[in-house]
Amino acid sequence: MADGTSTRQDVLSDLPVANRSTVNRILDHIQISSFHPTSSYVRAEREDAKPPLRIASGWVNGFIDRDEALDACGPGFTPWKSDERRELWGVSLPENSLRAGGSTSDRRAEQQPCPTCGDLMPLSNVCDFCG
């Protein structure tokens, strides 16, 4: 965007398809007042003035503790302590380059386009944007 901000929809559409539902769930759990793209992630300012989240294509960092990360992401995620941002936590998203086996390229071929908007749906076959 021209003013240096993005919308939630912009943030989601720039992510790998496999990661959109997880980030959407995080953004449903943590209220964000504004999104600011940087060269390597989007800084998501919280409405509660806690430290901002950093949303990258393969990870999200900035949870205030392990429990917040687990609550926001849901089952199946293992939060890690941030090396760069002391006292904060992060999670690796399903498609990432942080660890072996983080790619979902084998599953991508199984995804179907949404019959309403045409965007690829997660493997649940429920569109992140149309529901």
At 128 the pLDDT is 78
Structural domain boundaries in the chain:
8-108
pLDDT tens digits, one per residue of 96-110: 886 544 444 433 335
What CA–CA distance (Å, rounded) separates 23 from 55? 8
Give first-to-last CA distance, the chain, whole Å.
26
Confidence band of 75 (pLDDT split at 50, 70, 90): confident
Comparing 7-21, 59-73, 75-89, 94-108, which segment has the lowest mean pLDDT? 94-108
What CA–CA distance (Å, rounded) separates 81 from 84? 9
Can you state the angle between helices 66-73 and 17-29, rounded to 10 degrees? 120
Judging by DSSP bridges, how do beta strands 32-37 and 53-55 pair with one another? unpaired
At 105 the pLDDT is 42
Q: What does pTM read for this prediction? A: 0.73
At 110 the pLDDT is 56
